[in-house]
Structure 1
Amino acid sequence: MSGPFLIIERENAIATVTLNRPSERNAISRPEYIEEIRNFCADATRDPSLKAVIVTGAGSAFCAGGNVKDMRDKAGIFEGSPYTLRNRYRDGIQQIPLALYELEVPTIAAINGPAIGAGLDLACMCDVRIASQGALFAESFVKLGIVPGDGGAWLLPRIVGNARAALMTLTGDAIDTTTALDYGLISQVVPPENLLATARAVAQRIAANPGHALRLTKRLLREGQDMKLGPLLELSAAYQALAHHTADHEEAVNAFLEKRSPRFGNR
């Protein structure tokens, strides 16, 4: 299938990004796919008018991870010596979690079908995860005799906890939406026909807030995963000082006191 891997649609302050290889179950199987994701993240961070991003998949799958046929054939991103493969992982698919980690805009994964291997990890890189009924989730690398190579061993325990992450990763077994909801892996399950509308409604609630506050808050949440309380409080104080001297903060306070809806201008 030709054309871009990412279909990007913009509606005001919200971008919907669709992985567009349904015939391949949206597997991340080519260097150019990775480059598209990196470029989008960089462009989104540079765009102060963008306040929320929805990530979903075309067709029946969210993302099937890597291309298993390419693994068998030692082709594509799986071609080469162990040394070559190590560098290809570092310079290739591992750039996705780094790019999404640095993306300042809040992200919502609208999981329309199976999220398997690197596909589950991609969903875990997003800030919010909403799934349609019938979606499946598997950290299934071990079933193919490999390990989570794109950050899953760091991402998944921070979302579902060490014990559940170990169970998912060491068995490689898939879980359904009921279990995923119980684990805290997803926040909501909706009928398939309501998935994007639900994700957009959440994105609109996010985008109703000042852009600078959203970006600084997301950064605090991410940095707080690995910081002690003292350094996080220092960072919070610095970010708060910046936020207090923005026009949107003044507008929010005035609107609250005047009992009216705020009119933010990303200032």
Structure 2
Amino acid sequence: MAILLSRRDGHVLTLTLNQPDRRNPISDPDMIEAVIAALLEADRDVSVRAVVLTGAGSAFSSGGDVKKMVPGGGLRDALPAQTRRNYRNGIQRLPLVFQDLEVPVIAAINGAAIGAGCDLACMCDVRIAADSAKFAESFVKMGIVPGDGGAWLLQRIVGVSKATHMALTGEMIDAHEALACGLVSKVVPADALQEAAAAVARQIADNPPHAVRMTKRLMRQAQQASLSAVLEMSAAMQALAHETRDHEEAVLAFGERRPPVFEGR
């Protein structure tokens, strides 16, 4: 059985974590490799204009496999220096890959997003939750810290105070509290989640793909760069965008009062 399912519908690619019996842990090397490979392939293919990431079964992702949190199991090695290398060469590759992607990724959070599963959702660009979804930055409950970048990710989404509260208490919040604090942008009934995520993906995919990808790059850089640096990058990207055929098509369609047809050129 494939641990990661892939389905293409037009310009939208849907990736599904497919270990429902284990609640879709994300920290195993084979799952990390599968997710990274699928995302990098999508990023190289400009005809993929949006990616939806979701989980099979009742959970989005349970994060790490607690049964493997013993010496010699999973990321933990008997030698601490090797444990450090395991994190660097394992799960820490995920946030770095997500940060460098230009294709937009939408998390369709169908159930529990716990620990690294919560952080996986934070790595995505847009988060839509089923009303049954739950979230917890729960590392402290297991006597560990967010080893996958959660301390960097979460506070940039919900703010320092809420992120600190979640990280230090490890408490679980429901979908509606996640919406209130900005962790997700929309909450829908569970049976409407996949279509709601697909609808957002299609909205993105309907726009000129080069402009979308450059806009995403600017948004990511703006999280850490100075205003002057972002303005300089914006000017350079705008010069590129003005020369695309899709920009010309958008201007023509606006003047002719018709829907534009974007071809990614």
User: Structure 1 length as normaliser, TM-score?
Assistant: 0.97
1:171 maps to which residue? Answer: 169
Unpaired runs of 5+ residues, structure 1, are: none
Q: Could you tell me whether the CA contact under 8 Å between 1:34 and 1:96 is conserved in 2?
A: yes
In structure 2, which of residues 138, 145, 155 is the aligned counterpart of residue 157 of structure 1?
155
* 1:73 CA displacement: 6.0
2:30 maps to which residue? Answer: 32
1:59 maps to which residue? Answer: 57
1:112 maps to which residue? Answer: 110
Count of residues in correspondence between the two structures: 265
**Distance (whole Å) between structure 1 residues aligned to residue 11 and residue 141 of structure 2:** 41
Deviations 1:218-246 (A, max 9, x none): 00000000111111100000000000000
2:237 maps to which residue? Answer: 239
**Distance (whole Å) between structure 1 residues aligned to residue 30 and residue 91 of structure 2:** 11
Q: Could you tell me whether the CA contact under 8 Å between 2:27 and 2:91 is conserved in 1?
A: no
In structure 1, which of residues 204, 217, 236 is the aligned counterpart of residue 202 of structure 2?
204
* 1:206 CA displacement: 0.6
**Distance (whole Å) between structure 1 residues aligned to residue 102 and residue 234 of structure 2:** 16
Write the letter of the residue equivalent to 2:148.
Answer: D
**Distance (whole Å) between structure 1 residues aligned to residue 87 and residue 212 of structure 2:** 31
Deviations 1:108-164 (A, max 9, x none): 100000000000000000111000012100000000000000010000000000000
In structure 2, which of residues 177, 183, 186 is the aligned counterpart of residue 185 of structure 1?
183
* 1:55 CA displacement: 0.4
Q: Could you tell me whether the CA contact under 8 Å between 2:17 and 2:55 is conserved in 1?
A: yes
Give RMSD over aligned pairs: 0.9
In structure 2, which of residues 76, 89, 92 is the aligned counterpart of residue 91 of structure 1?
89
Moved over 4 A (4+): none
Q: Could you tell me whether the CA contact under 8 Å between 1:44 and 1:103 is conserved in 2?
A: no
In structure 2, which of residues 67, 72, 77 is the aligned counterpart of residue 69 of structure 1?
67
Asked if 1:125 corresponds to 2:119, the answer is no
**Distance (whole Å) between structure 2 residues aligned to residue 30 and residue 139 of structure 1:** 19
Write the letter of the residue equivalent to 1:12.
Answer: G
Q: Which deviates more from structure 2 when the two are superposed, residues 38-47 or residues 12-21?
A: 38-47
1:140 maps to which residue? Answer: 138
* 1:192 CA displacement: 0.6
**Distance (whole Å) between structure 1 residues aligned to residue 138 and residue 45 of structure 2:** 35
* 1:68 CA displacement: 0.2
Matches for 1:217-236 after TM superposition, within 5 Å = 217-236=215-234
Change in CA separation of 1:41 and 1:80 when aligned onto 2, cut-off 3 Å: farther
Write the letter of the residue equivalent to 2:203.
Answer: R
Write the letter of the residue equivalent to 1:50.
Answer: V
* 1:33 CA displacement: 1.0
Write the letter of the residue equivalent to 1:77.
Answer: L
**Distance (whole Å) between structure 1 residues aligned to residue 87 and residue 3 of structure 2:** 19
**Distance (whole Å) between structure 1 residues aligned to residue 238 and residue 79 of structure 2:** 49
Unpaired runs of 5+ residues, structure 2, are: none
2:246 maps to which residue? Answer: 248
**Distance (whole Å) between structure 2 residues aligned to residue 90 and residue 52 of structure 1:** 28
**Distance (whole Å) between structure 1 residues aligned to residue 35 and residue 5 of structure 2:** 11
Matches for 1:5-24 after TM superposition, within 5 Å = 5-24=3-22
Question: What's the secondary structure of 2:59's corresponding residue?
Answer: coil
User: Structure 2 length as normaliser, TM-score?
Assistant: 0.98
**Distance (whole Å) between structure 1 residues aligned to residue 78 and residue 90 of structure 2:** 14
**Distance (whole Å) between structure 2 residues aligned to residue 157 and residue 217 of structure 1:** 22
